[in-house]
Amino acid sequence: MRIGGRRFKLPVVSRLTLAWLAFAALAAGVALYTASDDSRRRAAIAMTVEGIERIAPPAERAPSIADKIERQAFGRQAAASAIEIPVEEAFGDEAEDALEGIEAGASAFADPADDIVITVDGAPARAIAATPTLASLTSLRIAEPDAALLQRTAYGKAPRIAADGRRAAKVYARPFTPGESPHVALIVGGLGLNRALTERAIDELPPEVTLAFAPYARDLDFWARRAREAGHEFMIELPMENRSGEGEALGPATLLTSRDEAQNLQRLDWILSRAEGYFGVTNYLGAHFSADRAAVDPVLARVAAAGLAYVDDTGALKGRKGGGVAIVSRLIDPGFGAEKTRTARDLESLEKYAARSGEALGKTYVNADTLDALVDWAGGLGSRGVALAPASAVLAMRATDS
């Protein structure tokens, strides 16, 4: 560049300044892009959270899958929507494949409100805080899981009879001393699928009430510990084919007459490994499966060999002696909405049965409509001259009488 016939050169300092300015401009551009990209990512996160909150069901909602299944159990019309679990045959030769398939199917049975866990920093979600109860401070607390009563299987630890002959059916039973009054026991099932109802059942029902958990329940070890600390003995439910061809609706671990013995026992082993410290198992539906001797006998034999009690509410096993099998005296209609009166009617019938026979064993399924009724009924038995007993105590009474 010439000025007045002379070549003009930028001072060295000016060149350095230009270099710094260029560098600063580049840095500013990078910063702007990063900020813009970060804004886009924050917007995406906000949209995701907003979407989750929008689709999350309210605390009080339409009947859940568990409610629909309970309606089927009592012969009433199921909800219009079909129950489908898009899971391929889960059990092959490999235990890991089987477990993966079952857990995938189990998500369809979990309470939708429990599916959403959001943490800002990516840390694990905080566990539900256990609420200490009076029963947890007494000598009637259920025994802690004993390693001598467990064996390793392809799916985890499952019950067995200890080397010294001790059985889970005795060790994990709630301590109880029979009196002169008629005794009545109640098993409340379908727990673990709905967090709020499960917490209420554990905390509000008297500790003598026996609880039964669905094998698909999330955090089953946690619920088992909560039940034990509250003084409740508990059971695990075995989903079984209720009507011919309808078993698949209960998930990939369902025991079916169409499966061979090895396939059903494989599913039973998975169910038995879901928790520790339970004294027995009970059917979940299963009228069709329980009536098929070829299908149910191997299952009952495996349950007995594990040292567990078995409670049947289908009536298909009536007349069987020994093997730790007990039949409920009355299946209590869980009631829905205006049908609550059926629950009260059946509970009254259960008391009358106990008055005639000296003991009675009832079973029902939890739901928001009737939990209050169950709490009131159980709490008032003593004033009517009837003693509330754990299910294991009634089983022991029957074993002594036979």
Q: What is the 3-state secondary structure (H, E, C) of 336-359?
A: CHHHHHHHHHHHHHHHHHHHHHCE
Structure tokens at 37: 């990209």
pLDDT tens for 344-392 read 999 999 999 999 999 999 999 988 888 989 999 999 999 999 999 999 9
Structure tokens at 6: 């002379």
Segment holding 382, helix H or strand E: none
**Nearest CA among 387, 380, 397, 385 for reference residue 184:** 387
Q: What is the pLDDT of residue 87?
A: 31
Q: What is the pLDDT of residue 26?
A: 66
- Measure the CA–CA gap between 324 and 224, rounded to whole angstroms: 22
Sites in the chain below the pLDDT cut of 70: 1-139, 321-322, 337-338, 402
Q: What is the pLDDT of residue 16?
A: 58
Strand duo 234-240 + 210-213: pairing: parallel
pTM above 0.85, yes or no: no
What are the E-state strand segments in 287-385? Answer: 309-312, 325-327, 330-331, 359-365
Q: What is the pLDDT of residue 139?
A: 52
Structure tokens at 20: 């710094």
- Measure the CA–CA gap between 393 and 398, rounded to whole angstroms: 9
Q: What is the pLDDT of residue 116?
A: 32
Q: What is the pLDDT of residue 44?
A: 30
Q: What is the pLDDT of residue 401?
A: 76
Q: What is the pLDDT of residue 258?
A: 95
Residue with tokens 């230009």: 18
- Measure the CA–CA gap between 289 and 301, rounded to whole angstroms: 15
Segment holding 272, helix H or strand E: helix 261-272
The DSSP symbol for 78 reads P
The DSSP symbol for 129 reads P
Helices 293-305 and 261-272: angle between axes, nearest 10 degrees? 40
Residue with tokens 């609880």: 211
Cα distance from N-terminal residue to C-terminal residue, the chain: 118
Structure tokens at 188: 């409340």
- Measure the CA–CA gap between 180 and 182, rounded to whole angstroms: 7
- Measure the CA–CA gap between 58 and 38, rounded to whole angstroms: 32
- Measure the CA–CA gap between 293 and 296, rounded to whole angstroms: 5
Q: What is the pLDDT of residue 118?
A: 31
Contact in structure between 145 and 276 (CB atoms under 8 Å) = yes
- Measure the CA–CA gap between 269 and 228, rounded to whole angstroms: 22
Contacts made by residues 115-123, CB under 8 angstroms, sequence distance 24+: 116/52, 116/56, 118/49, 118/52
CA 327 to chain centre: 23
